[in-house]
Amino acid sequence: MSVNPYSKDFPVSWEELHRNARALSWRLLEMGPWKGIVAITRGGLVPAAILAREMDIRLIDTICVTSYETDANSGTALLQGELNILKGIEGDGEGMLLIDDLVDTGKTARHVREMLPKAHFATIYAKPAGKPLVDTFVTEVSQDTWIRFPWDMEYTFSAPLAERNPR
């Protein structure tokens, strides 16, 4: 049985995600022009849609990957399992933006980098283990933090931190 390596939660609102994706767009616009976007599914789909709008890019493709397993006890995707490519794309990625929501351990990043070595890899969030594998990112978070994206959450009561982590 795997041990949960995430001791901190970092909830991200839709507004914050949109603001950070726009900040990523500003950085990437200065480096363009770009031929298109390749979103890494599923996490890269929403950021890719925002970037496509902000950068006026119409060519969008996907690399479909699974790498997280669901924790049977909590129902949360926490355990990194075997990487499985469900759909790739042709070419080496030249002139393309490769977009994901975050780079965590770098397991997925290493594999898609090999698939598209000439693409510019950008994420909104980066953790220390995966950070060297991306070309551009907006926010760094600690390795022991689980980022809770808005598409994975619903509004509910949240206990104060002191109650969740008694001393």
pLDDT reported for residue 153: 81
The pLDDT of residue 1 is 47
Annotated catalytic residue, options 61, 71, 92, 104 = 104
Active site residue 101: yes
Looking at the domain assignment, is residue 25 inside a domain? yes
Determine, yes or no, domain membership for 156: no
Please indicate, yes or no, if residue 2 is contained in any of the structural domains: no
Domain span including residue 124: 10-150
Phi-psi category of 161—alpha, beta or left, where left has phi over 0 and alpha has psi -120 to 50?
alpha
35 has pLDDT over 70: yes
pLDDT at residue 133 tops 90: yes
Would residue 162 count as lying in a domain? no
pLDDT at 152 over 60: yes
Q: Which of 9, 101, 144, 152 is catalytic?
A: 101
In a domain, 159, yes or no: no
> For the chain, how big is the Rg over CA atoms in Å?
16
The average pLDDT across 12-24 equals 96
Among the listed residues 100, 135, 144, 152, the single catalytic one is 100
